[in-house]
Amino acid sequence: MTLTAVPHSSHWGAFDALVEDGRVAAVRPFAGDRHPGMLIESVPDIVHSRTRIDRPYVRAGWLRGERAGSLRGGDAFVPLEWDHAIRLVAGEIDRVRKEHGNASIFGGSYGWSSAGRFHHARTQLHRMLGAAGGFTGQVTNYSYAAGMTLMPHVVGSNDCIQGPATDWPSIIANAKLMVCFGGLPLKNGEVCAGGAGEGQYRRWLREAAASGLRIVNVSPLRQDTPDWLGAEWLPVRPGTDTALMLALAHAIVTTGQEDRAFLASHCVGWDRLRAYILGESDGVAKSPAWAAPITGIAAGTIAELAAEMAANPTMITAAWSIQRQDRGEQPYWMTVALAAITGGIGRPGTGFTFGYGSINGVGNPRMDLPVPQLNAGRNPTGLFIPVARITDMLENPGGVCEYNGRRITYPDTRLIYWAGGNPFHHHQDLNRLLRAWARAETIVVHEPWWTTLARHADIVLPATTTLERNDIGASSRDRHVLAMKKAVPAQGQARDDFAICGDIAEALGCRPAFTEQRDESAWLRHLYDQARAGWTRAGLETPDFDAFWAQGYLEFPAPEKPFVLFEEFRADPAANPLNTPSGKVELVSETIAGFGYDDCPAHPVWFEPKEWLGAEEAKRFPLHLLSFQPATRLHSQLDQGRVSLASKVAGREPILIGKEDAAARGLATGDVVRVFNERGACLAGVVVSEGILPGVVAMATGAWMDPATPGEPGALCVHGNPNILTRDEGTSRLGQGPVAQSCLVEIERWAAPLPPVRVHEAPETEDA
């Protein structure tokens, strides 16, 4: 048998699928990728897997009429024929919209789906539900909700998070110092939303290391910069970056080194922020001596770093993680302030940009060009909730959520519909979600796999993986457009989300509005041609669709000149104002002050997080749990693949713990522990580390939640999903972002026999 190479792509990189006998036997990196990642190795394991859903199913209890009030997760599933499943789903949409209105259909469906820009499950679902009269949606994201809500008030846009960012060549050529709150973790470069033709993050970190750029890793974890980067490690207590930044600012101001000219010409509110930093407004000087006991960093060390930042061209970056915590707006606002004080904003290679270490492609030089992308269409209800307020919404129909100056009334949710996301992965306090989930009458899920989400649904529709369909992969952070060709037939009875939504739309009488009379092939051409028109307007000659498809990819030229964020504003703020009320950087925002939120006042301030090592609560739960992005998978995706499985300890998700904390509990690498707090408990496998701040433990997200007794809130997760432990609350009334990183726990040895991990097997099913 010969292997056929089929070009394809994914959020974790472009590759050729090597196909034999209708199966993906192996993969090899895309030939153009000089810095390929490792996650593609898991692809064969997930396409052909015991965890695939072989056909449509319905929850046995739902069939018996157990709707609102039933705790999902414990019932067996009953197989369904496809046409019966489609009738049931369309019937539920129709019933709910007629009896309760479209707002009672929750179709936010947050999640990364897959890389293909056409078969993007969430977008397909939004188009279908939009055509059927609408739904309640979600705004912002779990990645940087607080930051993206705040930044338009402060600098007039989200470019400093979503790009284009000051690029790496500009940093390497011009900065002498790069201060990284949350580090530059190598693992995060494994991933790029929409896929990437090259692991540029690995490339640029290598070039930065070779250039001698001095890098400071401000993080509780040493591994947040790779050893070969030669970074200096400044271990900071989790949740205290704002205090550290205020103290750096204090040291710079009290030594008279702030950039007064820039603060006067390009910023508003400096007087008030300065008074706060110096303690003139509240009697507390935010000095290095003040910050030392909060942050755990010596006052002298803070003062030395401040002196270097003032004396050298400095790039400041903060990982997206540091705003996924209680009052997460503050460290981001203070990052901007610190960059304004050091005066680097708009100058080559300096200033600030968020997330250089958060995802592949930030700071990758790329012309500003459109990518092929399916439009999600209009949602006729126009209703939404901030993304992470899902449990609040389910618990409080008719309740009010304050968000960024608005008051949003929660709908009375009857039907939950999810395709392409996994709330039982991404949401905080999963026991609370499980209880609130019971309020829905019907829960519909499209999934390729028996994830924890699929196991907590009523009607489960099996979706294809990208390897079973044709698509186009592309990202605004990458210079490639990639053909994703169908490599193998649909597995079992799986169908594309597009086909499933099309049939439901048909049953609801709105197929033409959903498909716009195009099939897969016509859509791919249409999306390509639309983007191509933009490339042509930018003066680029590109191949037509057929030539692109035959070649398998398209590569844009790199831009001629390095990109510097805020360059034009810096050069002439009157001619090129920011899109803020003042046209300047708002160190004080009258707009935000006008909202009257005590949890996000007029300028950046230090708040003690509700859960941190300085809290009263730390007496009972003395360890701060960080739950970072996994090196071995994408969120919950690929958890059943070889790369992720090889990293588990005794089959559980690893937890990093420092030597002293392990010794105090009699723990060694390889032990299994119970990690717990008042919200829940999970098992984890111990890895003792020298590179973690005492008092801090860390686990990756993404192990599929596996309750010892499915369907019972409070059950032990035997596999190690940290969201059984995290707190579910908004960052503030401004951003309402998730606060996963503010979480206290205790851990103890697990002495009882080890319960099996069953979540990577198919669940119990009954006969039809």
Ligand X SMILES: Nc1nc2c(c(=O)[nH]1)N[C@H]1C(S)=C(S)[C@@H](COP(=O)(O)OP(=O)(O)OC[C@H]3O[C@@H](n4cnc5c(=O)[nH]c(N)nc54)[C@H](O)[C@@H]3O)O[C@H]1N2
Task: List Cα–Cα distances, 258 to 7, 255, 263, 398, in angstroms.
Answer: 53, 8, 8, 49
**Which of ligand X, Mo ion, none is residue 213 near (CB under 5 to 8 Å by kind)?**
none
DSSP E strands, 518-571: 553-555
* 756 membership: H or E segment, kind and range: none
Task: List the strands of the sheet with 4-10, edge to edge.
Answer: 4-10, 13-20, 23-29
Q: How far is CA 719 from the centre of its chain?
A: 21
Tell me the closest approach of the beta carbon of residue 482 to Mo ion, in angstroms.
21
The single residue among 16, 75, 392, 447 that binds ligand X, judged by CB under 6 A, is 447
Residues 12, 57, 62, 110: which is the catalytic one?
110
Helix 299-311 crosses helix 241-254 at what angle (to 10 degrees)? 60
- Among the residues of 581-676, which ranges form H helices? 590-595, 642-647, 659-664
The yes or no reply on residue 442 touching Mo ion (CB under 5 A) is no
**Which of Mo ion, ligand X, none is residue 692 near (CB under 5 to 8 Å by kind)?**
none
The yes or no reply on residue 499 touching ligand X (CB under 6 A) is no
Q: Give bridge partners of residue 385 from the DSSP assignment.
A: 138
Q: DSSP string of 312-323?
A: S-EEEEE-GGGG
Cβ burial 552-563 (10 Å sphere, 16+ → b, else e): bbbebeebeebb
The yes or no reply on residue 609 touching ligand X (CB under 6 A) is no
Tell me the closest approach of the beta carbon of residue 426 to Mo ion, in angstroms.
8
The yes or no reply on residue 723 touching Mo ion (CB under 5 A) is no
Contact 210, 228 (CB under 8 A): no
Near ligand X by CB under 6 A, which window of 97-105, 313-321, 368-376, 515-523? 313-321
Q: Which is nearer to Mo ion, 110 or 535 (CB)?
A: 110
Q: How far apart are CA 644 and CA 273, in angstroms?
A: 46
Closest by CA to 427, choosing from 452, 458, 444, is: 452
The single residue among 114, 364, 589, 731 that binds ligand X, judged by CB under 6 A, is 114
Q: Which two tokens stand for residue 325?
A: 């915590």
Nearest-CB residue to Mo ion? Answer: 143
Contact 241, 247 (CB under 8 A): no
Tell me the closest approach of the beta carbon of residue 205 to Mo ion, in angstroms.
20
Near ligand X by CB under 6 A, which window of 320-328, 365-373, 673-681, 750-758? 320-328
The single residue among 109, 143, 240, 360 that binds Mo ion, judged by CB under 5 A, is 143
Task: List Cα–Cα distances, 694 to 89, 237, 300, in angstroms.
Answer: 51, 9, 20
Q: Give bridge partners of residue 59 from the DSSP assignment.
A: 77
Site string for ligand X, 554-593 (x = CB under 6 A): ----------------------------------------
- Omega before 694 cis (within 30°)? no
Q: Which is nearer to ligand X, 180 or 273 (CB)?
A: 180
The site that binds ligand X (CB under 6 A) totals a number of residues, namely: 64
State the Rg of the chain over Cα: 25
- Amino acid letter, 504: I
Return left, alpha or beta for 84; rule: phi > 0 is left, psi -120 to 50 is alpha, else beta. Answer: alpha
Near ligand X by CB under 6 A, which window of 319-327, 400-408, 430-438, 518-526? 319-327
Near ligand X by CB under 6 A, which window of 220-228, 505-513, 571-579, 582-590? 220-228
Q: Which is nearer to ligand X, 72 or 584 (CB)?
A: 72
The yes or no reply on residue 111 touching ligand X (CB under 6 A) is yes
Q: How far is CA 94 from the centre of its chain?
A: 33
The yes or no reply on residue 219 touching ligand X (CB under 6 A) is yes
3-class state of residue 380 by DSSP: coil
Q: DSSP string of 253-292?
A: HHTT-S-HHHHHHHEE-HHHHHHHHHTTTTS----HHHHH
The yes or no reply on residue 113 touching Mo ion (CB under 5 A) is no
Q: Phi and psi dihedrals of 23, rounded to 5?
A: -125, 145
Tell me the closest approach of the beta carbon of residue 191 to Mo ion, in angstroms.
9
Contact 445, 459 (CB under 8 A): yes
Looking only at the bridges linking them, the beta strands covering 459-462 and 57-59 are: antiparallel
Contact 107, 421 (CB under 8 A): no
The yes or no reply on residue 637 touching Mo ion (CB under 5 A) is no
Tell me the closest approach of the beta carbon of residue 496 to ligand X, in angstroms.
8
Query: Of residues 167-206, which lie at the interface with ligand X (CB under 6 A)?
Result: 181-183, 185, 187-188, 190-191
The yes or no reply on residue 726 touching ligand X (CB under 6 A) is yes
Q: Which is nearer to ligand X, 453 or 499 (CB)?
A: 453
110 is catalytic: yes
Task: List the strands of the sheet with 351-352, edge to edge.
Answer: 232-234, 214-218, 177-181, 314-318, 351-352
The single residue among 205, 221, 508, 682 that binds ligand X, judged by CB under 6 A, is 221
Query: Of residues 620-649, which lie at the interface with ligand X (CB under 6 A)?
Result: 626-631, 634-637
Who's near 738: CB < 8 A, 6+ residues apart? 142, 145, 324, 387, 388, 427, 428, 728, 730, 731
The yes or no reply on residue 358 touching Mo ion (CB under 5 A) is no
Tell me the closest approach of the beta carbon of residue 119 to ligand X, in angstroms.
6
Cβ burial 504-519 (10 Å sphere, 16+ → b, else e): bbebbebbebbbeeee
The single residue among 7, 194, 239, 328 that binds ligand X, judged by CB under 6 A, is 239
Tell me the closest approach of the beta carbon of residue 636 to ligand X, in angstroms.
3
Tell me the closest approach of the beta carbon of residue 266 to ligand X, in angstroms.
27
Site string for ligand X, 19-58 (x = CB under 6 A): ----------------------------------------
The site that binds Mo ion (CB under 5 A) totals a number of residues, namely: 1
Near Mo ion by CB under 5 A, which window of 143-151, 497-505, 731-739, 754-762? 143-151
**Which of ligand X, Mo ion, none is residue 219 near (CB under 5 to 8 Å by kind)?**
ligand X
Residues 112, 356, 403, 549: which is the catalytic one?
112
Query: Of residues 370-409, which lie at the interface with ligand X (CB under 6 A)?
Result: none
* 44 membership: H or E segment, kind and range: helix 43-47
**Which of ligand X, Mo ion, none is residue 718 near (CB under 5 to 8 Å by kind)?**
none
Task: List Cα–Cα distances, 249 to 137, 275, 304, 310, in angstroms.
Answer: 40, 12, 12, 10
Query: Of residues 448-467, which lie at the interface with ligand X (CB under 6 A)?
Result: 448-449, 451, 453, 463
Q: Which is nearer to ligand X, 224 or 586 (CB)?
A: 224
Contact 706, 759 (CB under 8 A): yes
**Which of ligand X, Mo ion, none is residue 549 near (CB under 5 to 8 Å by kind)?**
none
3-class state of residue 632 by DSSP: coil
Q: Which two tokens stand for residue 451?
A: 């994830």
Q: How far apart are CA 554 and CA 201, in angstroms?
A: 20
Near ligand X by CB under 6 A, which window of 280-288, 316-324, 652-660, 750-758? 316-324
Q: Which is nearer to Mo ion, 143 or 677 (CB)?
A: 143
The single residue among 9, 104, 109, 143 that binds ligand X, judged by CB under 6 A, is 143
549 is catalytic: no
Q: How far apart are CA 38 and CA 582, in angstroms?
A: 47
**Which of Mo ion, ligand X, none is residue 731 near (CB under 5 to 8 Å by kind)?**
none
Tell me the closest approach of the beta carbon of residue 498 to ligand X, in angstroms.
10
The yes or no reply on residue 142 touching ligand X (CB under 6 A) is yes
Catalytic residue positions, numbered: 110, 112
Chain residues binding ligand X by CB under 6 A are: 111-114, 119, 121, 142-143, 181-183, 185, 187-188, 190-191, 218-221, 224, 236, 238-239, 241, 319-322, 324-325, 357-359, 419-422, 425-426, 446-449, 451, 453, 463, 497, 626-631, 634-637, 701, 722-723, 726, 740-741
Binding site for Mo ion (CB under 5 A): 143
